[in-house]
A and B are shown apart, each in its own frame.
Chain A
């Protein structure tokens, strides 16, 4: 057998008449699809992932990347990837890995929700010319506020406020570790977070010294591998997050392949060079809500109660009860990651079949915390499939305090969601540690693009608020009356707590 029976997904083609043999495609492809054959560029199309780096850098537009027309015979039941994965597994005995969020055609409820607008009976607001408030504080809020008279006779807040994270807009950058993404990608996000007055999250890979200057815009993460966690690290950011799970891979641990562990990553994570960085499936000191409480307060003790503690979980069937336990365990923030959330590496069997969507999970958690009278005890961050400002607005109306973005942030850096992050060959320099690739990502240049995106989404969010006739994001938060479901069954509407369109 001279080649794999798993047929290539894509065909890379070069128009030999247009090609000026500049070899830029050879230099730019991180996957070694192209090689120089003496008089022309040779193509190994089996390696192509359609990341489109070559297409963008070809000065003559001589390159096209097509979906392979020689796909298996069409069959409504046995899809291309069903057959292809079996062939790959037959050849390797391995578990097919994937990157990014699930690409399976599950229903996306965000696309079945419509937002209200003002007409006649209440005035809309023009956000370009009137004040519009997006500022958001994440953290535990007191059940009531008490005041006393200050020395000057004026009333003054008596209640001691728990620590809060201040965001200029209800967006945060979701956890992506140094290791899963390059240092330049992390720097890009850090620069943007600082400029925007929002926060990024280190993920579980420690904090590289180059990121320390952005500490006032960073949430540091403690996960089951405990990579890079020391007292300095815990106190470095504005909050500490305990990662229990991730939407793309609920219930399983992390596995950063050895290809992505060069010296610098090994040093930050304190593991041998070239070994696989393994994050155990559970945190072995957490087998119950009581144990979670123990770690939450171990961190609060280590940070002298100065930082909010967030707990990140994947959205699973009993998410509402679990979230209630997390809040009662003392978490200041509950981060819920829906099953369409992204990942640097996950077995496709897990990514595509475990967990539940963020829309259902968010609605269930918000409702449950309200019923129990503890919604004020923690903020909710919603993540896992926020593709646009519309998704963000709908998530906030369903009860989120803020939404977390990762894939959209990477797209601003050149990512085309090719989903091959786990290989460490990213031609755009994002999910790779190969120095010749990471150098392509200039943090200053790409931070500008990321800042543009968040500015654009902030403008869009203000337009939505204006149309709703409210002048603060706080007025949309948890306001499900401003949402209607289209084409949804009554049980789904009930879970979401929204009425059908027309009612």
Chain B
């Protein structure tokens, strides 16, 4: 394992060191004293695991293609921006615009997430990105969603009386699927969204993804599956098909 002390290091130099370690074939990298450095894991490929101590800055894992990033603390905005594959695990809360245009891989967050999470996620056949957040989400959850899977668990509901998901959930959604644990107020959803109960296949899919999620945070899968889920899907493949006069 290679340990890199990030204390006081400019992001460009830190990321250069990380790139060099990964290029060398280092499987385990530990970044200590990270304090807001941007772009960790940006465009990185390979199969290394990078553990981050401290709070990393914006655009963590942007364009990433393969590695696993583990953040022991909170993280900021734009995580997994256009990420292609790999995994990001956040033990705390995370900020806005997570998984923008995400194409594959997984983003697991133990806590709450901010606005516009899962915006314009993509998916094609088996390549489907997955974002799972353990807490609540802000407005515009899954906006413009075109593919992939978004799961919101509201695990700490008793402590926080806000609704699980903010306003305009799934607005502009035209592909993919959102699962929300607990009830969903139709008033909070975008006009393009249909709310149904998950069927057997969906529960199987949920269990598969949540088993992996529970492993990352040492949670009990049976406890989580006890709760009921709602499934949000696009009501139409072409929500704006009638917008134009040809």
- A residues whose Cβ falls under 8 Å from a Cβ of B: 85, 88-89, 91-97, 222, 224-227, 229-232, 234, 255, 257-258, 266-267, 269-272, 274-276, 278, 280, 284-285, 294-295, 297-299, 301-304, 347, 422-423
Contact A270 B100 (CB under 8 A): no
Residues of B within 8 A of A278 (CB): 120, 144, 146, 172, 174, 240
**Binary contact readout B211-246 vs A (1 if CB under 8 angstroms, 0 otherwise):** 000000000000000000000000001111111111
A229 to B244, CA, bound (A): 28
> Closest approach, in angstroms, between the C-beta of A349 and any C-beta of chain B?
11
Verify if B142 is at the interface (C-beta below 8 Å from A). no
Given known pairs A270-B122, A271-B175, A272-B174, the reply for A347 and B244 (CB within 8 Å) is: yes
* Additional pairs, 8, CB under 8 Å, beyond known A231-B63, A257-B244: A97-B246, A224-B120, A225-B120, A270-B123, A278-B174, A280-B143, A284-B143, A298-B62
Q: Is B136 positioned at the interface, with any CB of A under 8 Å from its CB?
A: no
Bound form: Cα–Cα A298–B124 in Å:
25
* B246 and A270 contacting across the interface, CB-CB below 8 Å: no
A230:B103 contact, CB within 8 angstroms = yes
Given A230-B103, A301-B15, A423-B246: A274 in contact with B144 (beta carbons within 8 A): no
> Are A276 and B245 in contact, CB atoms less than 8 angstroms apart?
no
Partner of A304, one of B19, B120, B243: B19
Complex contact A275–B174 (CB within 8 A): yes
Q: Tell me if A298 and B59 are in contact (CB < 8 A).
A: yes
Stretch at the interface among B24-32, B37-45, B155-163: B37-45
Contacts known (A284-B97, A284-B119, A298-B63); A272 close to B103, Cβ less than 8 A:
no
Chain B 9-30 interface residues, beta-carbon cutoff 8 Å to A:
12, 15, 19
- Closest chain-A Cβ to B110's Cβ sits at a distance in Å of 23
Q: Residue B170 at the A interface, CB < 8 A?
A: no
B245, A226: Cβ atoms closer than 8 Å: no
Is there contact, CB below 8 Å, between B147 and A271? yes
Q: How far is it, in angstroms, between the C-alpha of A500 and the C-alpha of B4 when the chains are bound?
A: 64
* Partner-A contacts on B (CB < 8 A): 12, 15, 19, 38-39, 42-43, 45, 58-59, 62-65, 77-78, 81-82, 84, 97, 100-101, 103, 116, 119-120, 122-124, 127, 143-144, 146-147, 172, 174-175, 237-246
Q: List 19 A-B contacts (CB under 8 A).
A: A94-B242, A94-B246, A222-B82, A226-B100, A227-B101, A230-B65, A230-B84, A231-B45, A231-B63, A257-B244, A271-B147, A272-B174, A278-B146, A284-B97, A285-B81, A294-B38, A298-B42, A301-B15, A422-B246
* Nearest Cβ on chain B to A146's Cβ, whole angstroms: 22
* B100 surroundings in chain A (CB, below 8 A): 226, 284-285
- Nearest 6 A/B pairs, CB to CB: A226-B101, A302-B43, A94-B245, A270-B122, A301-B42, A92-B245
Closest to A274 in B: B237
- Within the complex, the shortest CB–CB distance from B162 to chain A, in Å, comes to 22
A226 engages B124 (CB within 8 Å): no
Q: In the complex, how many angstroms separate the beta carbon of A239 from the nearest chain B beta carbon?
A: 15
Interchain CA distance A269-B146 in the complex, whole Å: 10
Residue in B closest to A258 when the chains form the complex, CB atoms: B238
Chain B residues near A298: list those with CB within 8 A. Answer: 38-39, 42, 59, 62-63, 78, 81
Across-interface contacts of B58 in A (CB, < 8 A): 294
CA separation between A107 and B243, bound complex, in Å? 31
Chain A contacts for B123, CB-based, 8 A: 270-271
Contact of A97 among B147, B237, B244 (CB under 8 A): B244
- A347 vs B244: C-alpha distance when bound (angstroms): 8
Q: Is the CB of A270 within 8 A of B144?
A: no
Shortest CB–CB separation between residue B23 and chain A, in angstroms? Answer: 10
Task: Output the nearest chain B residue to A234 by Cβ-Cβ distance.
Answer: B63
Q: How far is the CB of A464 from chain B (nearest CB, A)?
A: 42
**Contact across chains for A270 and B147 when beta carbons are under 8 A apart:** yes
